[in-house]
Chains A and B, each alone.
Chain A
Amino acid sequence: MKLSPFSFFLNKKTEILFSFPALILIFFFIFIPISWGLYISFTDYSLLNPSFHFIGLKNYMEVLTSYNFLKSILTTFEFMVISMLIEFPIGLGIALLLNEEFKGKKITVALSLIPWSIPMVVNSLLWLWIYDPQYGLLNGILYWLGIKEYNKLWLGNPQIAMFALIIADSWQVIPFHVLFFLAGLQSIPKTYYEASAIDGANSLKRFFYITLPLLKRVFLILLLIRTVHCIKVFDMIYLMTNGGPGDRTTTMAFLAYLETFDHLKMSIGNTEAIIMSFILIILGTIYIMTLY
Protein backbone atom coordinates (compact mmCIF):
# COMPACT_ATOMS: atom_id res chain seq x y z
CA MET A 1 0.00 0.00 0.00
CA LYS A 2 1.41 3.35 -1.00
CA LEU A 3 0.76 6.18 1.43
CA SER A 4 0.37 9.80 0.41
CA PRO A 5 3.03 12.01 2.01
CA PHE A 6 0.50 13.55 4.39
CA SER A 7 -0.89 10.29 5.75
CA PHE A 8 2.66 8.93 5.90
CA PHE A 9 3.58 11.67 8.36
CA LEU A 10 0.33 11.23 10.27
CA ASN A 11 0.82 7.47 10.60
CA LYS A 12 4.43 7.64 11.55
CA LYS A 13 4.32 10.65 13.81
CA THR A 14 5.78 8.80 16.81
CA GLU A 15 8.79 7.69 14.79
CA ILE A 16 9.30 11.19 13.47
CA LEU A 17 9.03 12.66 16.96
CA PHE A 18 11.51 10.02 18.14
CA SER A 19 14.08 11.27 15.67
CA PHE A 20 13.96 14.90 16.70
CA PRO A 21 16.37 15.10 19.66
CA ALA A 22 19.19 13.35 17.82
CA LEU A 23 18.49 15.26 14.60
CA ILE A 24 18.64 18.59 16.43
CA LEU A 25 22.00 17.67 18.00
CA ILE A 26 23.47 16.49 14.69
CA PHE A 27 22.12 19.53 12.90
CA PHE A 28 23.49 21.93 15.49
CA PHE A 29 26.90 20.38 16.15
CA ILE A 30 27.84 18.87 12.79
CA PHE A 31 25.83 20.44 10.00
CA ILE A 32 25.80 24.08 11.18
CA PRO A 33 29.55 24.24 12.01
CA ILE A 34 30.44 22.95 8.57
CA SER A 35 28.10 25.38 6.81
CA TRP A 36 29.12 28.26 9.00
CA GLY A 37 32.79 27.46 8.54
CA LEU A 38 32.20 27.41 4.81
CA TYR A 39 30.60 30.85 5.01
CA ILE A 40 33.40 32.27 7.19
CA SER A 41 36.04 30.97 4.79
CA PHE A 42 34.80 33.58 2.31
CA THR A 43 35.16 36.43 4.82
CA ASP A 44 38.02 38.12 6.70
CA TYR A 45 36.57 37.23 10.11
CA SER A 46 38.81 36.86 13.16
CA LEU A 47 38.05 36.67 16.87
CA LEU A 48 39.76 40.02 17.44
CA ASN A 49 37.94 41.64 14.57
CA PRO A 50 34.47 40.05 14.62
CA SER A 51 33.06 41.54 11.46
CA PHE A 52 32.22 39.71 8.27
CA HIS A 53 33.54 41.30 5.08
CA PHE A 54 33.04 39.20 2.03
CA ILE A 55 36.43 38.75 0.35
CA GLY A 56 35.61 36.00 -2.11
CA LEU A 57 38.17 33.31 -2.71
CA LYS A 58 41.08 35.26 -1.21
CA ASN A 59 41.51 32.88 1.73
CA TYR A 60 41.51 29.87 -0.55
CA MET A 61 44.05 31.48 -2.87
CA GLU A 62 46.29 32.18 0.09
CA VAL A 63 45.99 28.70 1.58
CA LEU A 64 46.32 26.78 -1.66
CA THR A 65 49.43 28.66 -2.71
CA SER A 66 51.12 28.60 0.70
CA TYR A 67 54.17 26.43 1.01
CA ASN A 68 53.19 25.30 4.53
CA PHE A 69 49.82 23.96 3.54
CA LEU A 70 51.02 22.10 0.46
CA LYS A 71 53.83 20.61 2.49
CA SER A 72 51.39 19.54 5.22
CA ILE A 73 49.36 17.65 2.60
CA LEU A 74 52.51 15.79 1.56
CA THR A 75 53.35 15.07 5.21
CA THR A 76 49.85 13.71 5.80
CA PHE A 77 50.14 11.39 2.82
CA GLU A 78 53.60 10.28 3.88
CA PHE A 79 52.23 9.35 7.30
CA MET A 80 49.31 7.53 5.69
CA VAL A 81 51.23 5.51 3.10
CA ILE A 82 54.06 4.36 5.37
CA SER A 83 51.60 3.46 8.15
CA MET A 84 49.61 1.27 5.83
CA LEU A 85 52.65 -0.41 4.34
CA ILE A 86 53.63 -1.46 7.86
CA GLU A 87 50.23 -2.29 9.31
CA PHE A 88 48.63 -4.32 6.55
CA PRO A 89 51.23 -7.08 6.10
CA ILE A 90 51.87 -7.45 9.83
CA GLY A 91 48.17 -7.35 10.70
CA LEU A 92 47.30 -9.95 8.06
CA GLY A 93 50.25 -12.15 9.03
CA ILE A 94 49.26 -12.27 12.68
CA ALA A 95 45.62 -12.86 11.78
CA LEU A 96 46.67 -15.85 9.65
CA LEU A 97 48.56 -17.28 12.62
CA LEU A 98 45.64 -16.66 14.98
CA ASN A 99 43.33 -18.40 12.55
CA GLU A 100 45.10 -21.70 13.29
CA GLU A 101 43.87 -23.87 16.13
CA PHE A 102 46.05 -23.69 19.24
CA LYS A 103 45.87 -23.38 22.98
CA GLY A 104 45.50 -19.86 24.35
CA LYS A 105 43.80 -18.47 21.26
CA LYS A 106 40.96 -16.82 23.14
CA ILE A 107 43.21 -14.97 25.55
CA THR A 108 45.44 -13.75 22.70
CA VAL A 109 42.43 -12.26 20.93
CA ALA A 110 41.22 -10.68 24.17
CA LEU A 111 44.62 -9.14 24.87
CA SER A 112 44.65 -7.66 21.36
CA LEU A 113 42.02 -5.20 22.49
CA ILE A 114 44.27 -3.63 25.14
CA PRO A 115 46.31 -1.27 22.94
CA TRP A 116 43.17 -0.21 21.13
CA SER A 117 41.33 0.69 24.33
CA ILE A 118 44.17 2.72 25.86
CA PRO A 119 43.46 6.44 25.44
CA MET A 120 45.61 8.01 22.74
CA VAL A 121 46.98 10.47 25.32
CA VAL A 122 48.35 7.65 27.49
CA ASN A 123 49.77 5.86 24.46
CA SER A 124 51.53 9.04 23.40
CA LEU A 125 53.17 9.67 26.76
CA LEU A 126 54.26 6.06 26.92
CA TRP A 127 56.07 6.38 23.58
CA LEU A 128 57.40 9.74 24.66
CA TRP A 129 59.21 7.82 27.38
CA ILE A 130 60.36 5.05 25.06
CA TYR A 131 61.92 7.64 22.72
CA ASP A 132 63.31 9.84 25.50
CA PRO A 133 66.98 10.61 24.77
CA GLN A 134 68.05 10.52 28.44
CA TYR A 135 66.00 7.82 30.16
CA GLY A 136 64.15 6.12 27.31
CA LEU A 137 63.82 2.42 26.63
CA LEU A 138 65.02 2.59 23.04
CA ASN A 139 68.33 4.17 23.97
CA GLY A 140 68.53 1.65 26.80
CA ILE A 141 68.37 -1.13 24.21
CA LEU A 142 71.17 0.55 22.25
CA TYR A 143 73.17 0.67 25.46
CA TRP A 144 72.66 -3.04 26.10
CA LEU A 145 73.68 -3.81 22.56
CA GLY A 146 76.98 -2.15 23.38
CA ILE A 147 76.59 0.83 21.08
CA LYS A 148 78.78 3.63 22.37
CA GLU A 149 76.74 6.59 21.17
CA TYR A 150 73.51 5.43 22.69
CA ASN A 151 72.23 8.94 23.48
CA LYS A 152 70.26 9.22 20.27
CA LEU A 153 67.55 11.75 19.54
CA TRP A 154 64.49 10.13 18.05
CA LEU A 155 61.61 12.57 18.03
CA GLY A 156 64.02 15.49 17.70
CA ASN A 157 65.68 14.10 14.59
CA PRO A 158 63.98 15.27 11.39
CA GLN A 159 64.94 12.09 9.57
CA ILE A 160 63.44 9.77 12.17
CA ALA A 161 60.64 11.73 13.84
CA MET A 162 57.96 10.77 11.32
CA PHE A 163 58.88 7.13 11.40
CA ALA A 164 58.91 7.17 15.21
CA LEU A 165 55.36 8.56 15.22
CA ILE A 166 54.24 5.91 12.76
CA ILE A 167 55.61 3.11 14.96
CA ALA A 168 53.83 4.52 18.00
CA ASP A 169 50.60 4.73 16.03
CA SER A 170 51.04 1.21 14.63
CA TRP A 171 51.31 -0.17 18.15
CA GLN A 172 47.72 0.86 18.72
CA VAL A 173 46.41 0.04 15.29
CA ILE A 174 47.93 -3.34 14.37
CA PRO A 175 45.80 -5.33 16.86
CA PHE A 176 42.78 -3.59 15.38
CA HIS A 177 43.83 -4.84 11.93
CA VAL A 178 44.32 -8.30 13.40
CA LEU A 179 40.76 -8.40 14.73
CA PHE A 180 39.33 -7.29 11.40
CA PHE A 181 41.38 -9.71 9.31
CA LEU A 182 40.58 -12.51 11.72
CA ALA A 183 36.85 -11.84 11.41
CA GLY A 184 37.29 -11.92 7.62
CA LEU A 185 39.32 -15.15 7.67
CA GLN A 186 36.78 -16.90 9.85
CA SER A 187 34.03 -16.15 7.35
CA ILE A 188 35.81 -18.10 4.58
CA PRO A 189 34.30 -21.60 4.36
CA LYS A 190 36.78 -24.42 5.10
CA THR A 191 35.46 -26.46 2.17
CA TYR A 192 37.18 -24.09 -0.31
CA TYR A 193 40.56 -25.05 1.08
CA GLU A 194 39.72 -28.74 1.18
CA ALA A 195 38.60 -28.73 -2.45
CA SER A 196 41.71 -26.91 -3.61
CA ALA A 197 43.93 -29.30 -1.62
CA ILE A 198 42.36 -32.20 -3.53
CA ASP A 199 43.08 -30.37 -6.77
CA GLY A 200 46.69 -30.18 -5.70
CA ALA A 201 47.10 -26.47 -4.90
CA ASN A 202 49.92 -25.75 -2.47
CA SER A 203 49.49 -23.43 0.48
CA LEU A 204 51.02 -20.45 -1.33
CA LYS A 205 48.58 -20.85 -4.20
CA ARG A 206 45.70 -21.26 -1.80
CA PHE A 207 46.68 -18.02 -0.10
CA PHE A 208 46.83 -16.02 -3.34
CA TYR A 209 43.84 -17.57 -5.09
CA ILE A 210 41.43 -18.12 -2.19
CA THR A 211 42.34 -16.13 0.90
CA LEU A 212 43.33 -12.80 -0.62
CA PRO A 213 40.42 -12.45 -3.08
CA LEU A 214 37.91 -13.35 -0.37
CA LEU A 215 39.41 -10.79 2.01
CA LYS A 216 38.86 -8.01 -0.52
CA ARG A 217 36.01 -6.43 1.38
CA VAL A 218 37.92 -6.41 4.66
CA PHE A 219 40.89 -4.86 2.89
CA LEU A 220 38.69 -2.18 1.43
CA ILE A 221 37.05 -1.34 4.74
CA LEU A 222 40.37 -1.18 6.56
CA LEU A 223 41.97 0.86 3.77
CA LEU A 224 39.27 3.46 4.01
CA ILE A 225 39.12 3.53 7.82
CA ARG A 226 42.87 4.00 7.92
CA THR A 227 42.89 6.68 5.23
CA VAL A 228 40.36 8.70 7.16
CA HIS A 229 42.11 8.07 10.48
CA CYS A 230 45.51 9.15 9.16
CA ILE A 231 44.12 12.38 7.80
CA LYS A 232 42.48 13.14 11.14
CA VAL A 233 45.41 12.21 13.38
CA PHE A 234 45.92 14.97 15.92
CA ASP A 235 46.33 13.97 19.60
CA MET A 236 49.57 12.14 19.04
CA ILE A 237 51.26 14.93 17.10
CA TYR A 238 50.07 17.50 19.62
CA LEU A 239 51.57 15.54 22.51
CA MET A 240 54.67 13.97 21.01
CA THR A 241 56.27 16.29 18.49
CA ASN A 242 54.10 19.41 18.37
CA GLY A 243 54.55 19.28 14.62
CA GLY A 244 58.32 19.39 14.87
CA PRO A 245 61.20 19.23 14.56
CA GLY A 246 60.64 22.33 12.41
CA ASP A 247 57.53 21.40 10.47
CA ARG A 248 58.59 17.82 9.81
CA THR A 249 55.49 16.20 11.35
CA THR A 250 53.00 19.03 10.78
CA THR A 251 50.10 17.29 9.09
CA MET A 252 47.08 19.03 7.59
CA ALA A 253 45.05 18.59 10.76
CA PHE A 254 47.80 19.92 12.98
CA LEU A 255 48.55 22.87 10.72
CA ALA A 256 44.91 23.95 10.84
CA TYR A 257 45.08 23.79 14.63
CA LEU A 258 48.34 25.80 14.77
CA GLU A 259 47.06 28.52 12.45
CA THR A 260 43.88 28.93 14.47
CA PHE A 261 45.04 28.66 18.07
CA ASP A 262 48.75 29.42 17.93
CA HIS A 263 49.09 32.01 15.19
CA LEU A 264 45.50 33.20 15.78
CA LYS A 265 44.85 33.45 12.05
CA MET A 266 41.23 32.41 12.37
CA SER A 267 40.20 32.79 8.75
CA ILE A 268 43.24 30.92 7.41
CA GLY A 269 42.91 28.10 9.96
CA ASN A 270 39.22 27.86 9.27
CA THR A 271 39.77 27.71 5.52
CA GLU A 272 42.28 24.91 5.98
CA ALA A 273 39.78 23.11 8.21
CA ILE A 274 37.14 23.43 5.50
CA ILE A 275 39.48 22.10 2.82
CA MET A 276 40.32 19.19 5.11
CA SER A 277 36.64 18.43 5.76
CA PHE A 278 36.06 18.64 2.03
CA ILE A 279 38.80 16.06 1.38
CA LEU A 280 37.23 13.84 4.05
CA ILE A 281 33.78 14.19 2.47
CA ILE A 282 35.13 13.20 -0.96
CA LEU A 283 36.98 10.19 0.47
CA GLY A 284 33.94 9.27 2.56
CA THR A 285 31.68 9.35 -0.47
CA ILE A 286 34.05 7.05 -2.36
CA TYR A 287 34.15 4.83 0.74
CA ILE A 288 30.37 4.55 0.95
CA MET A 289 29.88 4.11 -2.78
CA THR A 290 32.34 1.23 -3.01
CA LEU A 291 30.80 -0.50 -0.02
CA TYR A 292 27.13 -0.25 -1.05
Chain B
Amino acid sequence: MSKKIFIYIFLILYLLWVLVPYYFLIIISLMTHSDLISMPPKLFITNIYLNRYIKLFTGQGEVHSLVPGIENVLPGFWNALGNSLIFSFSSVIINILFGSTISYSIARLHFMEKRLLSLVLLGQIVISIGLMIPLYIMLSNLKLINTWIGIILTNSSHLLPFTIWVLTNFFKEIPVEIEEAAIIDGCDKIRMLYTIILPLSGPGLIAVGISVFIYSWGNLMIPLILTSKKELTTLPLFIANLTGHYAKDFGLMATVGSLTALPPILLAFFLQKYMVKGLTAGAIKG
Protein backbone atom coordinates (compact mmCIF):
# COMPACT_ATOMS: atom_id res chain seq x y z
CA MET B 1 0.00 0.00 0.00
CA SER B 2 2.74 2.45 0.91
CA LYS B 3 4.39 1.60 -2.39
CA LYS B 4 1.28 2.67 -4.30
CA ILE B 5 1.20 6.00 -2.48
CA PHE B 6 4.87 6.53 -3.22
CA ILE B 7 4.26 5.89 -6.93
CA TYR B 8 1.33 8.28 -7.04
CA ILE B 9 3.25 11.08 -5.33
CA PHE B 10 6.05 10.81 -7.86
CA LEU B 11 3.67 10.63 -10.78
CA ILE B 12 1.85 13.72 -9.63
CA LEU B 13 5.17 15.54 -9.38
CA TYR B 14 6.03 14.35 -12.88
CA LEU B 15 2.70 15.46 -14.30
CA LEU B 16 3.09 18.85 -12.63
CA TRP B 17 6.51 19.18 -14.22
CA VAL B 18 5.05 18.28 -17.62
CA LEU B 19 1.92 20.41 -17.46
CA VAL B 20 2.65 23.45 -15.30
CA PRO B 21 4.75 25.38 -17.83
CA TYR B 22 2.04 24.97 -20.44
CA TYR B 23 -0.60 26.02 -17.93
CA PHE B 24 1.31 29.24 -17.35
CA LEU B 25 1.69 29.84 -21.09
CA ILE B 26 -2.10 29.88 -21.40
CA ILE B 27 -2.88 31.97 -18.33
CA ILE B 28 -0.24 34.60 -19.16
CA SER B 29 -1.97 35.14 -22.48
CA LEU B 30 -5.25 35.75 -20.63
CA MET B 31 -3.93 38.07 -17.90
CA THR B 32 -4.59 41.78 -17.78
CA HIS B 33 -1.54 43.95 -18.11
CA SER B 34 -1.45 44.88 -14.44
CA ASP B 35 -1.72 41.23 -13.39
CA LEU B 36 1.05 40.35 -15.78
CA ILE B 37 3.58 42.77 -14.32
CA SER B 38 2.78 42.02 -10.70
CA MET B 39 5.44 40.45 -8.52
CA PRO B 40 5.06 37.73 -7.34
CA PRO B 41 3.34 36.44 -10.48
CA LYS B 42 -0.34 35.51 -10.24
CA LEU B 43 -1.00 31.77 -10.16
CA PHE B 44 -4.64 32.03 -11.21
CA ILE B 45 -6.54 34.48 -13.34
CA THR B 46 -9.27 36.42 -11.62
CA ASN B 47 -10.56 38.24 -14.68
CA ILE B 48 -10.06 36.84 -18.12
CA TYR B 49 -8.61 39.34 -20.56
CA LEU B 50 -9.31 38.36 -24.16
CA ASN B 51 -8.15 41.57 -25.83
CA ARG B 52 -4.87 40.10 -27.08
CA TYR B 53 -6.67 37.32 -28.93
CA ILE B 54 -9.26 39.75 -30.32
CA LYS B 55 -6.53 42.10 -31.43
CA LEU B 56 -4.59 39.29 -33.14
CA PHE B 57 -7.61 37.85 -34.91
CA THR B 58 -9.55 40.96 -35.91
CA GLY B 59 -7.14 43.85 -35.46
CA GLN B 60 -9.86 45.56 -33.39
CA GLY B 61 -9.54 47.02 -29.92
CA GLU B 62 -6.72 48.20 -27.76
CA VAL B 63 -3.93 46.11 -26.28
CA HIS B 64 -2.14 47.55 -23.34
CA SER B 65 1.55 47.05 -23.88
CA LEU B 66 4.78 48.55 -22.65
CA VAL B 67 6.33 47.90 -26.01
CA PRO B 68 6.10 50.76 -28.50
CA GLY B 69 5.34 50.02 -32.14
CA ILE B 70 3.83 46.59 -31.48
CA GLU B 71 0.72 47.69 -33.39
CA ASN B 72 2.66 47.53 -36.64
CA VAL B 73 3.83 43.95 -36.09
CA LEU B 74 0.58 42.32 -35.05
CA PRO B 75 -1.29 42.56 -38.39
CA GLY B 76 1.28 40.09 -39.74
CA PHE B 77 -0.31 37.28 -37.70
CA TRP B 78 -2.78 35.98 -40.31
CA ASN B 79 -0.09 36.11 -42.93
CA ALA B 80 2.30 34.15 -40.70
CA LEU B 81 -0.39 31.60 -39.89
CA GLY B 82 -1.17 31.11 -43.59
CA ASN B 83 2.52 30.80 -44.43
CA SER B 84 3.05 28.22 -41.69
CA LEU B 85 0.15 26.18 -43.08
CA ILE B 86 1.46 26.35 -46.65
CA PHE B 87 5.00 25.53 -45.48
CA SER B 88 3.97 22.56 -43.33
CA PHE B 89 1.35 21.04 -45.62
CA SER B 90 3.48 21.21 -48.74
CA SER B 91 6.30 19.55 -46.82
CA VAL B 92 3.92 16.78 -45.72
CA ILE B 93 2.67 16.26 -49.29
CA ILE B 94 6.16 16.14 -50.80
CA ASN B 95 7.37 13.78 -48.09
CA ILE B 96 4.44 11.39 -48.45
CA LEU B 97 4.50 11.45 -52.27
CA PHE B 98 8.23 11.16 -52.94
CA GLY B 99 9.10 9.46 -49.66
CA SER B 100 6.66 6.60 -50.23
CA THR B 101 7.89 5.87 -53.76
CA ILE B 102 11.57 5.69 -52.81
CA SER B 103 10.87 3.75 -49.61
CA TYR B 104 8.84 1.21 -51.58
CA SER B 105 11.75 0.77 -53.97
CA ILE B 106 14.27 0.33 -51.17
CA ALA B 107 11.99 -2.20 -49.45
CA ARG B 108 11.43 -4.22 -52.65
CA LEU B 109 14.67 -3.94 -54.59
CA HIS B 110 16.83 -5.68 -51.96
CA PHE B 111 19.68 -3.73 -53.49
CA MET B 112 22.26 -2.84 -50.83
CA GLU B 113 19.32 -2.30 -48.53
CA LYS B 114 21.25 -2.10 -45.29
CA ARG B 115 23.86 0.27 -46.65
CA LEU B 116 21.24 2.52 -48.21
CA LEU B 117 19.36 2.75 -44.92
CA SER B 118 22.58 3.53 -43.06
CA LEU B 119 23.23 6.36 -45.52
CA VAL B 120 19.69 7.61 -44.93
CA LEU B 121 20.30 7.70 -41.17
CA LEU B 122 23.59 9.46 -41.68
CA GLY B 123 21.77 12.07 -43.77
CA GLN B 124 19.39 12.65 -40.89
CA ILE B 125 22.26 13.13 -38.46
CA VAL B 126 24.11 15.67 -40.61
CA ILE B 127 21.12 17.99 -40.97
CA SER B 128 21.81 21.01 -38.78
CA ILE B 129 23.03 24.57 -38.93
CA GLY B 130 26.24 23.06 -40.30
CA LEU B 131 24.36 22.16 -43.46
CA MET B 132 22.35 25.40 -43.56
CA ILE B 133 25.37 27.68 -43.94
CA PRO B 134 26.71 26.12 -47.17
CA LEU B 135 23.10 25.79 -48.32
CA TYR B 136 22.53 29.48 -47.73
CA ILE B 137 25.60 30.35 -49.80
CA MET B 138 24.47 27.98 -52.54
CA LEU B 139 20.88 29.22 -52.69
CA SER B 140 21.90 32.86 -52.63
CA ASN B 141 24.05 32.19 -55.68
CA LEU B 142 21.06 30.54 -57.36
CA LYS B 143 18.82 33.50 -56.40
CA LEU B 144 16.57 31.14 -54.41
CA ILE B 145 16.73 33.10 -51.15
CA ASN B 146 13.32 34.56 -50.20
CA THR B 147 11.35 32.16 -52.38
CA TRP B 148 8.75 29.56 -51.48
CA ILE B 149 10.66 27.01 -53.57
CA GLY B 150 13.78 27.60 -51.49
CA ILE B 151 12.26 27.08 -48.07
CA ILE B 152 9.75 24.35 -48.94
CA LEU B 153 12.17 22.18 -50.90
CA THR B 154 14.91 22.65 -48.30
CA ASN B 155 12.59 21.67 -45.48
CA SER B 156 11.09 18.73 -47.38
CA SER B 157 14.47 17.33 -48.36
CA HIS B 158 15.77 17.66 -44.83
CA LEU B 159 12.86 15.58 -43.55
CA LEU B 160 13.06 12.97 -46.32
CA PRO B 161 15.66 10.78 -44.57
CA PHE B 162 13.35 10.48 -41.56
CA THR B 163 10.38 9.68 -43.81
CA ILE B 164 12.30 7.07 -45.78
CA TRP B 165 13.57 5.45 -42.61
CA VAL B 166 10.10 5.03 -41.09
CA LEU B 167 8.26 4.08 -44.30
CA THR B 168 10.81 1.51 -45.49
CA ASN B 169 10.39 -0.34 -42.22
CA PHE B 170 6.62 -0.31 -42.71
CA PHE B 171 6.70 -1.45 -46.35
CA LYS B 172 9.01 -4.35 -45.53
CA GLU B 173 6.26 -5.85 -43.39
CA ILE B 174 3.71 -6.02 -46.20
CA PRO B 175 3.85 -9.51 -47.75
CA VAL B 176 5.13 -9.67 -51.34
CA GLU B 177 2.46 -12.27 -52.19
CA ILE B 178 -0.24 -9.60 -52.25
CA GLU B 179 1.72 -7.75 -54.91
CA GLU B 180 2.32 -10.88 -56.96
CA ALA B 181 -1.39 -11.59 -56.97
CA ALA B 182 -2.07 -8.04 -58.13
CA ILE B 183 0.45 -8.32 -60.94
CA ILE B 184 -1.14 -11.56 -62.14
CA ASP B 185 -4.45 -9.73 -62.22
CA GLY B 186 -2.83 -7.18 -64.53
CA CYS B 187 -2.13 -4.34 -62.15
CA ASP B 188 0.81 -2.08 -62.98
CA LYS B 189 3.28 -1.00 -60.33
CA ILE B 190 2.22 2.62 -59.91
CA ARG B 191 -1.41 1.61 -59.48
CA MET B 192 -0.36 -1.14 -57.11
CA LEU B 193 1.53 1.34 -54.91
CA TYR B 194 -1.41 3.69 -54.66
CA THR B 195 -4.27 1.18 -54.42
CA ILE B 196 -2.72 -1.67 -52.42
CA ILE B 197 0.50 -0.75 -50.64
CA LEU B 198 -0.36 2.73 -49.42
CA PRO B 199 -3.75 1.82 -47.92
CA LEU B 200 -2.13 -1.14 -46.15
CA SER B 201 0.55 1.05 -44.62
CA GLY B 202 -1.91 3.61 -43.25
CA PRO B 203 -0.46 3.78 -39.72
CA GLY B 204 3.04 4.38 -41.07
CA LEU B 205 1.82 7.14 -43.36
CA ILE B 206 -0.10 8.80 -40.54
CA ALA B 207 2.94 8.64 -38.25
CA VAL B 208 5.14 10.16 -40.94
CA GLY B 209 2.54 12.77 -41.88
CA ILE B 210 2.07 14.00 -38.30
CA SER B 211 5.78 13.99 -37.51
CA VAL B 212 6.65 15.89 -40.67
CA PHE B 213 3.88 18.36 -39.89
CA ILE B 214 5.08 18.91 -36.30
CA TYR B 215 8.74 19.30 -37.31
CA SER B 216 7.88 21.74 -40.12
CA TRP B 217 5.42 23.70 -38.01
CA GLY B 218 8.05 24.39 -35.35
CA ASN B 219 11.02 24.88 -37.66
CA LEU B 220 12.71 28.20 -37.00
CA MET B 221 16.08 27.74 -38.62
CA ILE B 222 15.07 27.36 -42.26
CA PRO B 223 12.80 30.44 -42.53
CA LEU B 224 15.22 32.41 -40.34
CA ILE B 225 18.21 31.77 -42.55
CA LEU B 226 16.60 31.50 -45.98
CA THR B 227 14.10 34.38 -45.84
CA SER B 228 14.21 38.04 -44.91
CA LYS B 229 10.93 39.21 -46.45
CA LYS B 230 7.94 40.01 -44.25
CA GLU B 231 5.60 38.19 -46.67
CA LEU B 232 7.34 34.85 -46.00
CA THR B 233 7.35 35.02 -42.19
CA THR B 234 6.12 31.82 -40.51
CA LEU B 235 4.74 31.56 -36.98
CA PRO B 236 8.02 30.56 -35.25
CA LEU B 237 9.75 33.47 -36.94
CA PHE B 238 6.86 35.77 -35.99
CA ILE B 239 7.36 34.82 -32.32
CA ALA B 240 11.13 35.18 -32.61
CA ASN B 241 10.60 38.69 -33.99
CA LEU B 242 8.42 39.58 -31.01
CA THR B 243 11.30 38.71 -28.69
CA GLY B 244 14.05 40.15 -30.82
CA HIS B 245 13.28 43.69 -31.83
CA TYR B 246 11.15 44.91 -28.97
CA ALA B 247 11.32 44.84 -25.22
CA LYS B 248 9.67 41.63 -24.09
CA ASP B 249 5.89 41.63 -24.06
CA PHE B 250 5.20 38.26 -22.47
CA GLY B 251 1.44 38.64 -22.85
CA LEU B 252 1.58 38.84 -26.62
CA MET B 253 4.34 36.26 -26.90
CA ALA B 254 2.28 33.83 -24.86
CA THR B 255 -0.82 34.53 -26.95
CA VAL B 256 0.92 33.74 -30.23
CA GLY B 257 2.79 30.93 -28.48
CA SER B 258 -0.35 29.17 -27.21
CA LEU B 259 -1.94 29.40 -30.65
CA THR B 260 1.21 28.04 -32.31
CA ALA B 261 1.53 25.17 -29.85
CA LEU B 262 -2.09 24.13 -30.16
CA PRO B 263 -2.11 22.17 -33.47
CA PRO B 264 0.93 20.00 -32.63
CA ILE B 265 -0.37 19.30 -29.12
CA LEU B 266 -3.79 18.22 -30.41
CA LEU B 267 -2.22 16.04 -33.10
CA ALA B 268 0.20 14.41 -30.67
CA PHE B 269 -2.44 13.86 -28.03
CA PHE B 270 -5.18 12.36 -30.19
CA LEU B 271 -2.98 10.40 -32.54
CA GLN B 272 -0.42 9.36 -29.94
CA LYS B 273 -0.69 5.69 -30.83
CA TYR B 274 0.81 6.41 -34.24
CA MET B 275 3.22 9.01 -32.92
CA VAL B 276 4.92 6.71 -30.44
CA LYS B 277 5.29 4.10 -33.16
CA GLY B 278 6.79 6.59 -35.60
CA LEU B 279 9.07 8.05 -32.97
CA THR B 280 10.49 4.84 -31.67
CA ALA B 281 10.82 3.43 -35.20
CA GLY B 282 12.47 6.54 -36.57
CA ALA B 283 14.27 7.13 -33.30
CA ILE B 284 15.35 10.58 -34.41
CA LYS B 285 14.15 14.08 -33.99
CA GLY B 286 16.01 16.61 -36.13
A-side residues, CB < 8 A to B, are: 8, 12, 14-16, 18-19, 21-23, 25-26, 28-30, 32-34, 36-38, 40, 45, 47, 50, 93-94, 97-98, 100, 102, 104, 108-123, 125-130, 132, 134-137, 139-141, 143-144, 171, 174-176, 179-180, 183, 221, 225, 228-229, 231-232, 234-235, 238-239, 253-254, 256-257, 260-261, 266, 269-270, 273-274, 276-277, 280-281, 283-285, 287-288, 292
Contacts and interface: CB of A to CB of B under 8 A. Distances in A.
Interface in B120-137: 121-123, 125-137
Contacts of A118: 22, 218, 261, 264-265
A16 B108 CA distance: 11
B157 A28 contact: yes
A15 B109 contact: yes
Interface of B: 4, 7-8, 10-11, 14-15, 17-19, 21-22, 24-25, 28, 36-41, 94, 97-99, 101-102, 104-106, 108-109, 111, 114, 118, 121-123, 125-138, 140-141, 153-154, 156-158, 160-161, 164, 188-190, 193, 214, 217-218, 220-221, 224-225, 235-236, 239-240, 243, 248, 250, 253-254, 257-258, 260-261, 264-265, 267-269, 272, 275-276, 279-280, 283-286
Contacts of A139: 39-40
Contacts of B38: 135
Contact of A18 (B11, B105, B137, B265): B105
A221 B217 CA distance: 26
Given A118-B265, A121-B239, A171-B21, 6 more contacts: A18-B104, A25-B160, A37-B131, A94-B14, A125-B254, A232-B128
Contacts of A274: 130, 134
A56 to B, nearest CB: 19
Contact of A34 (B21, B131, B239): B131
Contacts of A183: 276, 280
Instruction: Give me the 10 closest cross-chain CB pairs, A-B, nearest first.
Output: A37-B134, A119-B218, A29-B157, A284-B125, A117-B268, A140-B40, A15-B105, A18-B101, A22-B102, A276-B130
Contacts of B156: 25
B124 to A, nearest CB: 8
A126 B7 contact: no
A76 B236 CA distance: 24
Given A15-B108, A33-B135, A23 B264 contact: no
Contacts of B250: 125, 128-129, 132, 135
A281 B123 CA distance: 9
A38 B138 CA distance: 12
A47 B134 contact: no
A202 B144 CA distance: 64
A254 B24 CA distance: 29
A259 to B, nearest CB: 9
Contacts of A287: 121, 125
B128 to A, nearest CB: 4
A219 to B, nearest CB: 13
Given A118-B265, A125-B239, A228-B125, A30 B131 contact: yes
Given A111-B15, A136-B41, A179-B279, A29 B153 contact: yes
Nearest to A277: B130
Given A125-B257, A292-B118, A25 B157 contact: yes
B133 A110 contact: no
A238 B126 CA distance: 20
Nearest to A37: B134
Contacts of A235: 220-221, 236
A237 to B, nearest CB: 10
23 contacts: A22-B164, A25-B94, A26-B123, A28-B153, A28-B157, A34-B134, A108-B11, A108-B15, A115-B18, A117-B265, A122-B258, A122-B260, A125-B257, A130-B21, A135-B41, A137-B24, A179-B280, A183-B276, A232-B129, A234-B221, A253-B128, A253-B129, A276-B129
